[in-house]
Each structure stands twice: as structure tokens, then as C-alpha cells.
Structure 1
Amino acid sequence: MSNERFSSVWDAIEDTPAEAENMKLRSVLMMALKEHIARVDLSQSQAAQLFGVTQPRVSDLMRGKITLFSLDALVNMAAAAGLHVEMRVLETA
């Protein structure tokens, strides 16, 4: 067993740093959308209408099916919900 340490679970399980970064961003967006749904107390069908997607798509979001969502789709859903998305780019050591 390896004692290698990772800063993120995505760094540990993804094959490349690029894939890990993509998954990190998607997971942050998915959590923000789920929190928004809970905070505003929306049903899945209300959230679907607000996000401009189908109710099964919101169900996939709520179940954390991250591989079914692109960054683009999640940013579009966040914008439709009135959320502002910001991104920072930092150099790694």
C-alpha cells in the first residue's frame, strides 16, 4: 500500500491532472446547484424548469452523477438559476 498523499480525492482517482481539475470544478458546481435547490426549497420539477432541463436531469444532479454533466452544462444551469460563477487560475508549485 502506498503512503502517497493527494490534495484532493480527484487527484487520487483521475488519470491525469487535467481530468482531476475538470472533476474538481464540476463537483463544486454540482454542490452549489444542490445547495441552491435546498436553500430556495425547490422541488425537482421546479428546479428543472428554472434550470431549463428535464426533471430526470435534476434527479441525476441530486444523486451526484457527476460523469453525466459537462462543465458547460453546469455553468448554464447555474446561470439560469441566477447564480454567478467565478473561476481562479493559479500556478501550481
Structure 2
Amino acid sequence: MSKETFASVSDAIEDTAAEAENMKLRSALMMALEQHIRGKGWTQTQAARRLGVTQPRVSDLLRGKIDLFALDTLVNMMATAGLHVEMRVLEST
């Protein structure tokens, strides 16, 4: 049994560095949206109405179903929620 180590869970789960990076970004956006929804005290129905999506979609978000969300979808949801997304690009170490 080999003891390979990874920098993050995403790196261990995904096959390529690109897939891992995409998962990290989606995860960060999903967590930010969840915090925003909970911070506002919105029900799933209220959040769905405010984000322009269905209640089951909000449920998927809050349950962390990361594989169901693309980056552009999450960015659009953030903007609709009145949130601003910033990005930094760094060289890999």
C-alpha cells in the first residue's frame, strides 16, 4: 500500500490538476453562497426566489452537491445574490 500525499482533498479526488483547481473554486463559491443564505436567514424557498433558481437547486447547493454546479452557474448565482467575486491567479508551487 503506497502512502501518496496530496496538498488537498480536491487533489486526491480529481484525476488532473485542472479538475482539482476547478473543484476548489466551485467549493469556495458554494461555501460563500451557503454562508450568505444562512446569514440572511433565508429559507430555501426565499433563497431560490432571490437567486432565480428552484428550491431543489438551493437544496443541492446547501447539501454540497458540488458535481451539480458549474463555475459559471455559481458566479451567476453570486452576482444575483448581490455578491462580488474576485479572483487571483498565482503560479503553482
TM-score by length of 1: 0.96
Report the Cα offset of residue 77 of structure 1.
0.3
> After the TM superposition, which parts of structure 1 deviate over 4 Å for at least 4 consecutive aligned residues?
none
Measured in 1, the distance between the counterparts of 2:80 and 2:2 equals 44
Measured in 1, the distance between the counterparts of 2:75 and 2:27 equals 12
Structure 2 unaligned spans of 5+: none
Please tell me the root mean square deviation across aligned C-alpha atoms, in Å: 0.8
Give 2:31's aligned amino acid: M
Identify the residue that residue 31 of structure 1 maps to in structure 2.
Answer: 31
Aligned residues: 93
TM-score by length of 2: 0.96
Identify the residue that residue 6 of structure 1 maps to in structure 2.
Answer: 6
1:39-88 alpha-carbon deviations (Å, 9 max, x no partner): 01000011001111011100110111110000000000001001110111
Report the Cα offset of residue 6 of structure 1.
1.3
Give 1:65's aligned amino acid: K
Structure 1 unaligned spans of 5+: none
